[in-house]
């Protein structure tokens, strides 16, 4: 047990936050949660000692003011990033926040190199990692000149998720005309973002990336922890086998697997190149016989609970490093390095079932594929970790279910309309879905 530690976590509706609350609470840590919505799973956990209401993290100034007030009322708590938005807010406002909190995040320079996809690509190449071909036209005139030579399909990808209006992963386009149309739409929509920051001057402009259809190898997620010194390091790997939206989206189901032999050392080298410490998720996709890195998440991520079940208590490791408890940290890392249960799977069970039913009813999924997914759930029932449901902490699972129902009802008209107005990129999404491993 690690009593005496206290931590504050935001993004209360995220899977990483609810997993962290349970991990830390069970370890004797005093956990407070900041929630901007009523139906936020972590706010309802029996391990949450106190919940603070706050504006949305997208309202940066208001969220920061509330966070400072919370810290002033009870100073000395560890503050861990739970989203790209909070990672950036905490780093950008470190001088203010450190008056009241124990901060645990790298510098704003490091985060800029991670959260700006173009800068991240350059860092990855410098340590020998493969990346997907990408293009960065500075304007529409250059885009129109470039478009005819591109190897379609192409992904229009947000350069960063900091201060974004939407949190989508991007859109796949199949032709030059579609590229120019969707690129314009993206830029026009992002003009409505908040003022942003001079540290991300090109944030409104997306980048273009070669679109690679997911094969049976899936999207590989290498997760883990590296301490401030860069000496203590531990990882796990998992395969994303289903995502919320197609052809790119947030993972709904993951299967544990051993990491490819070369990747842990390359990831460690990348962390050192970026001067990064803390918990992380690095995503890869198979391209031309190599694992190409596509993203780096410098904070809690959805399937943290899966890593905890596999013996890697990432939130606790971060807290121990934050307070400088090197002895306990070494013990926990050594324990995590000694064993791994690679039978574990992760799923957002309620969302998975909703996706399967919706796709079957709208003829986007065959009865055979539906049966395969039902068999998958049955086969892994004994060693599955859920996004929010837990028999020893039931309320978060119920709250998450209600939240998903609410979001589903709001998006139902758009979902139905999409079936009858499918664009070329929608057909690509359907093709990609059929290639998703089952």
Length of the chain: 438
Question: What value does the mean pLDDT of the chain take?
Answer: 90
Q: What is the pLDDT of residue 408?
A: 78
Contact present, 31 and 47 (Cβ < 8 Å): yes
Q: What is the pLDDT of residue 198?
A: 77
| The token pair that represents 98 in the structure block | 């450190």
Beta sheet of 48-53, edge-to-edge order = 48-53, 30-35, 6-9, 77-79, 101-103
Is the pLDDT confidence value at 352 over 60? yes
Q: How far is CA 371 from the centre of its chain?
A: 29
Q: What is the pLDDT of residue 196?
A: 57
Cα 129–Cα 150–Cα 247 angle in degrees, nearest 5: 70
User: 3-class DSSP state for residue 13?
Assistant: coil
Contact present, 100 and 71 (Cβ < 8 Å): yes
Q: What is the pLDDT of residue 399?
A: 98
Confidence bin at 248 (pLDDT 50/70/90): confident
| The token pair that represents 173 in the structure block | 């386009």
Is the pLDDT confidence value at 304 over 70? yes
Q: What is the pLDDT of residue 424?
A: 39
Of 316, 352, 100, 135, the residue nearest 225 (C-alpha): 316
Residue 315 exposure: Cα atoms within 13 Å on the Cβ side: 37
Confidence bin at 69 (pLDDT 50/70/90): very high
State yes or no: cis peptide before 153, omega within 30 of 0: yes
Between 394-420 and 349-361, two packed helices, what is the crossing angle to 10 degrees?
Answer: 20
The 10s digit of each residue's pLDDT in 77-101 is 999 999 999 999 999 999 999 999 9
Is the pLDDT confidence value at 389 over 90? yes
Domains of the chain, CATH where assigned: 6-106 (3.40.50.20), 133-210 (3.30.1490)
**pLDDT higher at 203 or 346:** 346
Q: What is the pLDDT of residue 416?
A: 59
Which stretch of 23-37, 158-172, 238-252, 421-435 has the lowest confidence by average pLDDT? 421-435
pTM (2 d.p.): 0.91
Task: Express as a percent the part of the chain with pLDDT over 90.
Answer: 78
Which stretch of 251-260, 323-332, 356-365, 417-426 has the lowest confidence by average pLDDT? 417-426
The 10s digit of each residue's pLDDT in 178-190 is 999 999 998 888 7
Cα separation, 216 vs 73, in Å, equals: 51
Contact present, 36 and 85 (Cβ < 8 Å): no
Q: What is the pLDDT of residue 414?
A: 60
């Amino acid at each position: 047990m690690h009593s005496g530690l206290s931590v504050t976590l935001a993004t209360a509706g995220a899977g990483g936050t609810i997993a962290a609350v349970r991990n830390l609470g069970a370890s004797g840590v005093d956990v407070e949660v900041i929630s901007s919505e009523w139906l936020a799973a972590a706010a309802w956990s029996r391990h949450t000692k106190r919940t603070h209401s706050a504006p949305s993290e997208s309202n940066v100034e208001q969220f920061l003011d509330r966070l400072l007030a919370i810290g002033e009322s009870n100073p000395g708590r560890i503050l861990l990033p739970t989203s790209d938005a909070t990672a950036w807010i905490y780093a950008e406002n470190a001088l203010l926040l450190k008056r009241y909190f124990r901060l645990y995040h790298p510098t704003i320079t490091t985060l800029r190199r991670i959260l700006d996809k173009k800068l991240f690509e350059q860092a990855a190449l410098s340590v020998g990692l493969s990346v997907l071909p990408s293009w960065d036209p500075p304007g529409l005139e250059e885009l129109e000149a470039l478009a005819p030579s591109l190897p379609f399909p192409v992904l229009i990808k947000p350069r960063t998720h900091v201060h974004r209006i939407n949190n989508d992963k991007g859109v796949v386009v199949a032709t030059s005309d579609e590229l120019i149309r969707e690129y314009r739409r993206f830029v026009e929509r992002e003009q409505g973002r908040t003022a942003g920051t001079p540290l991300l001057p090109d944030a409104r402009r997306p980048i273009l990336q070669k679109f690679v259809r997911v094969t049976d190898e899936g999207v590989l997620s290498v997760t883990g922890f590296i301490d401030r010194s860069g000496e203590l390091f531990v990882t796990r790997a998992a395969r994303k086998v289903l995502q919320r939206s197609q052809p790119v989206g947030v993972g709904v189901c993951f299967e544990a697997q051993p990491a490819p032999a070369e990747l842990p050392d390359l990831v460690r080298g990348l962390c050192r190149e970026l001067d990064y410490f803390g918990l992380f998720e690095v995503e890869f996709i198979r391209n031309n016989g190599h694992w190409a890195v596509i993203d780096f998440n410098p904070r809690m991520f959805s399937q943290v609970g899966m890593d905890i079940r596999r013996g890697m208590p990432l939130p606790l490791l971060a807290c121990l490093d934050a307070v400088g408890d090197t002895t306990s940290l070494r013990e926990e890392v050594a324990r995590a390095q000694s064993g791994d249960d690679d039978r574990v799977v992760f799923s957002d069970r309620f969302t998975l079932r909703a996706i399967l039913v919706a796709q079957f009813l709208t003829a986007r999924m065959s009865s055979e594929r539906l049966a395969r997914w039902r068999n998958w759930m049955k086969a892994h029932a004994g060693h599955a970790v859920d996004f929010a449901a837990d028999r020893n902490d039931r309320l978060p699972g119920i709250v998450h279910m209600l939240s998903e129902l609410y979001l589903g009802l709001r998006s139902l008209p758009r979902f139905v309309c999409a079936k009858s107005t499918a664009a070329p990129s929608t057909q690509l999404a359907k093709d990609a879905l059929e290639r998703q491993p089952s």
